[in-house]
């Protein structure tokens, strides 16, 4: 047991966490929102290396071959690496395009993000969320987007022409930007007032579901970790805890649990708050919203569960890391240590070792001496691999195996290669499925040199 605990602690020590959040009190403030602060305190308590990067002005830079994330007032920054760094993205990050671009940079460096930019954008756009739920056959209120004053009657017809109706700004959180219209006159006057303040604001219309409360479900990975009821605020139809709604722990039905998990998976969320309402009229469960950066204060109070620790424990286990794959071409340029840049074919059908061209090679004890053109190299042999080669007539070829460092898309990987004369082939290097997994790449067989520029020969 002591050995197991030691190994767990050693693994935890290797993982670093970056918290991406907005500045709570303006551009000159380092004050944190409650959940971001809880994550920082929990990491400090457990001696997990942690850095708070402010999305308002944070940036990523390379230095001496390493990647760092910086705040604008921090020249040293914090080293990040795809093998040991997790980024926990808080909701304030999604309010500005430049902040979302910071997430894209993290993903470009293959950093595991909770959640991805795609997930955050899909959840913040309520109409997009409704379309995704419909495609996944997850029950949601009927939804229509209102395309200006002339589109009010069209939207109303799409959702069934029944009042009351719910109006929501396309983006918004914590119950802000949500209204109810009880009649056609009320609907039009509400929209006119909104558009007078901001004529460019986008509004969706949904059927009204009658309930005394909704249920906020926290989904982490593919499991429900907590759920609470949020009762309607007095003289208000909203139930958000941040607005003063009462809360209590709730035991989900099997159906509610399944709906919540499916909804989170549909938007690709690692951690999400899924809001479910049970309509009094038809007794059915509906997903009304998905939050890609759920707060923890209310759910922890209602359930007495330490949600922050559950999320940290989850991300410390690398088996839980799922990152959006980066699209690449079937041909790209890689940099091989000692050799330099070379064209490579990324072969999804190769489950064996990678292959590199050698004009000649000779095994000398535990080393192999080999040559490309006039350049000669010597490497320790890692083994001998028997390969089936040939076309119509298959023949076997014993090839020496060696390890080489390969740099691609700003990351370096230790890969095992076999040596072979590849004259007549399209590239001097063939990269295998293991490389694709490590680099988290998705090969587009119709494109080449997507992430790099063709090397001149």
Residues 290 and 331 grouped into a single domain: no
Is 119 within the bounds of a domain? no
| pLDDT class of 391 with cuts at 50, 70, 90 | low
Each residue's pLDDT tens digit, 123-138: 999 999 999 999 999 9
CATH code (residue 193): 3.30.1490.20
Residue 115: asked if its preceding bond is cis (omega within 30°), the reply is: yes
Question: 389 pLDDT exceeds 80?
Answer: no
Question: 218 pLDDT exceeds 80?
Answer: yes
Q: What's the rounded Cα separation, in Å, for the pair 30 and 8?
A: 33
Residues 439 and 330 grouped into a single domain: yes
CATH code (residue 404): 2.40.70.10
| pLDDT class of 269 with cuts at 50, 70, 90 | very high
Is 135 within the bounds of a domain? no
Q: Counting beta carbons within 10 angstroms of the beta carbon of residue 370, is it exposed (0 to 12), middle (13 to 18) or buried (19 or more)?
A: buried
Please provide the distance, in angstroms rounded to a whole number, between the alpha carbons at the two ends of the chain: 57
Question: 321 pLDDT exceeds 80?
Answer: yes
| pLDDT class of 61 with cuts at 50, 70, 90 | very high
Is 181 within the bounds of a domain? yes
Domain boundary among 320, 352, 381: 320
Say if residues 103 and 109 touch (Cβ distance below 8 Å): no
Is 166 within the bounds of a domain? yes
Q: Which one-letter DSSP state was computed for residue 324? A: P
Residues 334 and 436 grouped into a single domain: yes
Q: Between these two residues, 241 and 21, which has the higher pLDDT value?
A: 21
Residues 163 and 200 grouped into a single domain: yes
Q: Which one-letter DSSP state was computed for residue 456? A: P
Q: Structural domain of residue 56, as residue ranges?
A: 2-114
Tokens standing for residue 75: 């020249």
Q: What pLDDT does 392 receive? A: 54
| pLDDT class of 8 with cuts at 50, 70, 90 | very low
User: Is residue 341 within a helix (H) or strand (E), and if so which, with residue range?
Assistant: strand 340-346
Residues 217 and 165 grouped into a single domain: no
Residues 439 and 342 grouped into a single domain: yes
Neighbours of 36 (CB within 10 A): 22
Is 127 within the bounds of a domain? no
| pLDDT class of 49 with cuts at 50, 70, 90 | very high
Q: What pLDDT does 1 receive? A: 40
Residues 150 and 247 grouped into a single domain: no
Q: What pLDDT does 11 receive? A: 46
Q: What's the rounded Cα separation, in Å, for the pair 244 and 232?
A: 9
Q: Counting beta carbons within 10 angstroms of the beta carbon of residue 301, is it exposed (0 to 12), middle (13 to 18) or buried (19 or more)?
A: middle
Residues 416 and 361 grouped into a single domain: yes
Residues 158 and 219 grouped into a single domain: no
Question: 441 pLDDT exceeds 80?
Answer: yes
User: Is residue 5 within a helix (H) or strand (E), and if so which, with residue range?
Assistant: helix 2-14
**Into how many domains does the chain fold?**
4
CATH code (residue 258): 3.30.470.20
Q: What pLDDT does 234 receive? A: 64
Residues 245 and 146 grouped into a single domain: no
Residue 164: asked if its preceding bond is cis (omega within 30°), the reply is: yes
Question: 10 pLDDT exceeds 50?
Answer: no
Domain boundary among 67, 98, 114: 114
Is 457 within the bounds of a domain? no
Say if residues 455 and 333 touch (Cβ distance below 8 Å): yes
Chain CA centroid to CA 235, Å: 38
Residues 378 and 301 grouped into a single domain: no
> Percent of the chain beyond pLDDT 90?
76
Looking up tokens 């569960």, which residue turns up? 305
Is 122 within the bounds of a domain? no
Is 128 within the bounds of a domain? no
Say if residues 93 and 99 touch (Cβ distance below 8 Å): yes
Looking up tokens 């700004």, which residue turns up? 169
- Average pLDDT value over all residues in the chain: 90
Q: What's the rounded Cα separation, in Å, for the pair 393 and 438?
A: 34
Average pLDDT over residues 97-117: 90
CATH code (residue 73): 3.40.50
Domain boundary among 320, 349, 378: 320
Residues 330 and 440 grouped into a single domain: yes
């Amino acid at each position: 047991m002591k050995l197991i605990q030691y190994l767990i602690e050693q693994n935890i020590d290797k993982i670093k966490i970056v918290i991406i959040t907005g500045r709570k009190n303006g551009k000159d403030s380092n004050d944190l929102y409650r959940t971001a602060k809880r994550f920082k305190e929990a990491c400090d308590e457990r001696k997990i290396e942690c850095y708070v990067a402010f999305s308002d002005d944070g940036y990523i830079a390379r230095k001496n071959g390493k990647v760092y994330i910086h705040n604008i007032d921090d020249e040293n920054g914090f080293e990040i690496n795809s093998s040991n760094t997790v980024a926990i993205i808080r909701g304030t990050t999604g309010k500005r395009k430049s902040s979302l671009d910071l997430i894209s940079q993290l993903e470009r460096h293959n950093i595991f993000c909770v959640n991805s930019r795609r997930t955050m954008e899909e959840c913040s756009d309520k109409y997009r969320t409704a379309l995704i739920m419909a495609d996944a056959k997850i029950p949601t209120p009927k939804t229509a987007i209102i395309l200006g004053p002339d589109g009010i009657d069209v939207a109303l017809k799409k959702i069934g022409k029944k009042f009351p109706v719910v109006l929501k700004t396309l983006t918004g959180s914590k119950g802000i930007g949500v209204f109810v219209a009880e009649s056609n006159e009320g609907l039009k006057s509400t929209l006119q007032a909104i558009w007078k303040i901001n004529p460019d604001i986008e509004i969706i219309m949904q059927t009204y579901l009658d309930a005394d409360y909704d249920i906020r479900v926290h989904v982490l990975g593919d499991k429900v970790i907590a759920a609470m009821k949020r009762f309607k605020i007095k003289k208000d139809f909203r139930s958000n805890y941040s607005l003063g709604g009462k809360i209590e722990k709730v035991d989900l039905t099997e159906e509610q649990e399944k709906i919540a998990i499916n909804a989170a998976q549909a938007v690709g969320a690692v951690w999400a708050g899924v809001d479910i309402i049970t309509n009094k009229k038809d007794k059915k469960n509906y997903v009304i919203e998905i939050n890609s950066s759920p707060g923890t204060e209310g759910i922890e109070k209602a359930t007495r569960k330490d949600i922050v620790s559950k999320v940290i424990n989850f991300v410390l286990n690398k088996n839980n890391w799922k990152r959006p794959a980066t699209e690449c071409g079937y041909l790209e340029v890689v940099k091989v240590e000692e050799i330099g840049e070379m064209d490579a074919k990324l072969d999804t059908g190769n489950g064996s070792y990678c292959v590199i061209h050698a004009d000649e090679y000779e095994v000398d004890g535990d080393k192999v001496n080999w040559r490309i053109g006039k350049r000669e190299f010597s490497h320790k042999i890692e083994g001998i691999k028997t390969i089936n080669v040939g076309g119509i007539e298959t023949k076997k070829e014993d090839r020496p195996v060696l390890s080489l460092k390969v740099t691609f898309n700003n990351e370096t990987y230790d890969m095992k290669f076999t040596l072979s004369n590849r004259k007549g082939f399209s590239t001097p290097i063939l990269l295998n499925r293991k490389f694709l997994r490590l680099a988290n790449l998705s090969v587009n067989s119709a494109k080449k040199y997507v992430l790099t520029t063709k090397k001149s020969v």
